[in-house]
Amino acid sequence: MATKSLQEQLLGIGLVDKKKVKKLKAESLQLKQKIKKGKALATGDDGRQEELKRQREEKAEKDRALNMERQKLAEQKAIQGQIRQMIEQNRIRKQDGDIAYHFTDNKKVKQLYISQSMHDDLSRGRLAIVKLEQQYELVPEPVAVKITERDPSYVLVCNNRVESIDDDPYADFQIPDDLMW
């Protein structure tokens, strides 16, 4: 049982006529000859090829922009992970104290009850208050500086270090013990 070619089947059904079949055979033969000779020139396809090239370039540009956006998101997640790790590894246990330390968080005044030594360290800039999710943590000042380099929104309080100054004009005056800031 010999199978008929597609052209013969289409001729048998009546979808194409003999003129079209001869024309298509001639065109395909010419195209094969041009390809063999290496002279396959795009005749009439120049506009289409330019359009396809332009579309490919647009798609490549879109892909580059999308990749850059994904890369930025990945970098942000990595930075947030680094900050979380720094806070969790370097946090100082808050000793329940009777002194309220007031600070601001998004224009709201918050307070944290800490001991006198922690209060002194916060005032002198040896400790800093950072926000991790919805909790406030105390970390050493060098860690807070590293966090600020990555994302300053995490650090809520980081006073400048105050060391003893030799030429302090107010060094002779005593600060009363009952004065609270």
pLDDT at 38: 65
27 and 80 part of one domain: no
127 and 68 belong to one structural domain: yes
| Residue 97 in domain | yes
Same domain, 122 and 157: yes
d(CA 173, CA 175): 7
Q: Are β-strands 127-132 and 99-105 bridged in parallel, bridged antiparallel, or unpaired?
A: unpaired
66 with 117, same domain: the answer is yes
Q: Which residues on neighbouring strands pair with residue 99, listed in sequence order?
A: 114
Instruction: State which of 6-10, 107-111, 170-174 shows the largest mean pLDDT.
Output: 107-111
Q: What is the dihedral of CA 55, 60, 62, 64, to 10 degrees?
A: -170
CA contacts within 13 A on the Cβ side of 91: 16
Asked if residue 176 belongs to a domain, the reply is: no
84 and 22 within one domain: no
Residue 121 has a pLDDT of 87
Q: Do residues 73 and 157 both lie within one domain?
A: yes
Q: Which of 61-65, 101-105, 128-132, 175-179 has the highest mean pLDDT?
A: 61-65
Rounded distance between C-alpha atoms, residue 17 and residue 78, angstroms: 67
16 falls within a domain: yes
The 10s digit of each residue's pLDDT in 25-67 is 888 888 888 887 765 444 556 788 899 999 999 999 999 999 9
> Structure tokens of 134?
């919805």
Sign of the alpha-carbon dihedral angle for 155, 157, 161, 167:
positive
Query: What is the rounded distance in angstroms from the CA atom of residue 73 to the CA atom of residue 109?
Result: 32
94/158 same-domain check: yes
What tens digit of pLDDT does each residue of 63-81 get? Answer: 999 999 999 999 999 999 9
What domain count does the chain have? 2
| Residue 70 and residue 23 share a domain | no
- 163: confidence class by pLDDT, cuts 50, 70, 90: low
Residue 145 resides in a domain: yes
Please tell me whether residues 26 and 77 are part of one structural domain.
Answer: no
Neighbours of 34 (CB within 10 A): 13
For position 44, what pLDDT does the model report?
55
pLDDT tens digits for 125-149? 889 999 988 888 899 999 999 998 9
The residue to which tokens 């590894």 are assigned: 89
Confidence at residue 40, expressed as pLDDT on a 0 to 100 scale: 47
DSSP-derived secondary structure for 110-132: EEEEE-HHHHHHHHHTSEEEEEE
Structural domain boundaries enclosing 79: 54-163
